Structure 1
Amino acid sequence: MRALIVEDDALNARVLHLALNAHFETVCTDDADRSVATYMQALDGDAPFDVVLLDLMLPGESGLTVLERIRTVETERGLPRVPVLITTAITDINIALRAFEQGHISAYLVKPLDLDRLLAELRTLGLIRAA
């Protein structure tokens, strides 16, 4: 199983990596363009990502734009939607609703992250086993 962590804060990226590395091979990116390029390379190779953890506040394009780009590629290629969990400090309910409506996200997790909730969401999605 592979997880793409899109996080521009090095400490947050490290925390997510440490929380997930028992369950996933993790790849971390820190901006919109690199994230989409990494996602595309994985699709074009033999190891697509099983889940994406996506920060909304990124340098350059926002995380919502990254989400839209990923969903466009999936639609164009006729692929199933990869589960996307938003990880953000943004608590604006309108942004959360937009993410759910436009991007069909699996979860919206507000920072500081509750790692138990993160793991519970991954269990609910069937991506990790119950403890």
Structure 2
Amino acid sequence: MKFLVAEDDFASRNFLQLFLRRHGEVDVAVNGAEALDVYKSALQENDPYQYVFMDIMMPEKNGLDAAREIREIERELGVTPANESVIIMVTALSDVKTVFEAFNKSEATDYLVKPITVESLTEKLREMGIVSDE
């Protein structure tokens, strides 16, 4: 399993990286522009990310725009919806408008609200079938 964590906040990035490492390979990016570069490189190497954790508010390119561009790249390459990367938007903004915008503008798969806890991340991974109830 391969994860990309795009997060400008060191503590959140480090937490996600350390936690997700238990379940597969994890690469990180510190802004949306870097996330796109890393994502494209993985595709060129024929080693795509199955899961992308993308912060919404990042410098250089925000997570909504970066996620939307990932979906455009997937469409251009003919990636079927069943084989798309799962994009989980990570946000400190829990209001309904922000979450709705994330799904509409970025075509995100799901979202996770900060502060991220072991419990909330475990539950999200359980929902996605990455970890079992055992």
TM-score over 0.5 (shorter chain): yes
**Which residue is equivalent to 1:125?**
128
Gaps of 5+ in 1: none
Distance 2:33 2:127 in 1: 30
Aligned residues: 131
Distance 1:86 1:119 in 2: 16
Deviant stretches of 4+, over 4 Å: none
**Which residue is equivalent to 2:89?**
86
Of 97, 101, 105 in structure 2, the residue corresponding to residue 102 of structure 1 is 105
Distance 1:127 1:31 in 2: 25
Summarize the alignment of residues 1-131 of structure 1 with structure 2, pairs less than 5 Å apart: 1-79=1-79, 80-131=83-134
Identity within the alignment, %: 30
What TM-score comes out, normalization by structure 2 length? 0.89
RMSD of the alignment, in Å?
A: 1.5
Deviation, structure 1 residue 121: 1.9
Deviation, structure 1 residue 32: 1.4
Gaps of 5+ in 2: none
Q: Is the 8 A contact 1:107 1:121 kept in 2?
A: no
The code of the aligned residue for 1:124 comes to E
- SS state at 2:60 partner: coil
What TM-score comes out, normalization by structure 1 length? 0.91
Distance 1:17 1:37 in 2: 18
